C-alpha cells in the first residue's frame, strides 16, 4: 500500500476516534475499539453510524416489499382502499413483532407451510445453518 494512502487511513481513523471521544466520551471510544476488534470492521464510520445505515436499509427494504405486495394485491386480486390499508397495518405489525424478536423467520415460514402447504423458499435460501432460520 502506498505511504500516502496509509497516512490517509491513519488520519481518518484518528479523526473518527477523536470525534467519538469528544461527542460521547472515553467509554464510547473503548466500546468502539472492542466492536472493531471483534467484527474486523475497518471503515470511516462509527458503530452508531453503521447501525443507522443498517436501520435505513431495513426500513427501505420493508417499504419496498410492502409497496410491491400492495401493488400486486390491487392489480391481481382487486384489493381496494379498505383492504389495502388493513393489509398494510397487519404487515407493519408483523414486521414490528419480527424486529422485536417476538416471532422468528422460522415461525413465519413454518406457519405458512404448515397451514397452507405452500413451501417458503426463504428456508432454502438462508439455510438452517446460518442461524437466521432456527428450528422450531
Output the pLDDT for position 36: 65
| 26 assigned to some structural domain | yes
CB atoms inside a 10 Å sphere around CB 32: 19
Cα–Cα distance, 88 to 69 (Å, whole number): 9
CA–CA separation, 26 and 9 (whole Å): 22
pLDDT at 125: 65
CB 106 within 8 A of CB 92: no
Q: Would residue 24 count as lying in a domain?
A: yes
| Residue 32 falls inside a structural domain | yes
Domain, as residue range, for 23: 3-39
Residues 6+ apart with CB under 8 A from 15: none
In a domain, 61, yes or no: no
Number of domains in the chain: 1
How do the pLDDT tens digits run along the chain, 136 residues long? 577 777 777 777 778 888 888 888 888 878 777 766 655 555 566 667 777 778 888 889 999 999 999 999 999 999 999 999 999 999 999 999 988 888 888 888 888 888 999 988 876 765 544 444 444 4
The pTM (predicted TM-score) of the whole model is 0.57
Q: What is the pLDDT of residue 17?
A: 81
Packed helices 105-116 and 81-100: angle between N→C axes, nearest 10 degrees? 130
Q: Which three cell numbers stand for residue 52?
A: 443507522
Task: Using the structure block, give the residue that is written with the C-alpha cell 466520551.
Answer: 25
**Domain-located, residue 21:** yes
pLDDT of residue 135: 47
Residue 41: predicted pLDDT: 54
Amino acid at each position: 500500500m502506498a505511504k500516502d494512502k496509509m497516512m490517509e487511513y491513519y488520519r481518518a481513523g484518528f479523526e473518527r476516534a477523536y470525534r467519538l471521544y469528544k461527542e460521547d466520551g472515553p467509554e464510547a471510544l473503548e466500546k468502539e475499539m472492542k466492536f472493531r476488534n471483534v467484527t474486523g470492521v475497518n471503515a470511516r464510520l462509527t458503530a452508531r453510524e453503521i447501525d443507522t445505515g443498517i436501520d435505513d436499509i431495513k426500513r427501505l427494504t420493508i417499504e419496498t416489499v410492502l409497496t410491491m405486495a400492495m401493488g400486486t394485491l390491487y392489480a391481481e386480486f382487486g384489493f381496494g382502499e379498505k383492504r389495502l390499508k388493513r393489509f398494510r397495518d397487519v404487515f407493519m405489525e408483523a414486521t414490528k413483532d419480527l424486529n422485536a424478536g417476538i416471532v422468528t423467520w422460522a415461525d413465519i415460514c413454518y406457519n405458512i407451510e404448515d397451514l397452507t402447504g405452500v413451501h417458503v423458499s426463504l428456508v432454502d435460501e438462508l439455510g438452517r445453518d446460518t442461524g437466521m432460520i432456527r428450528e422450531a
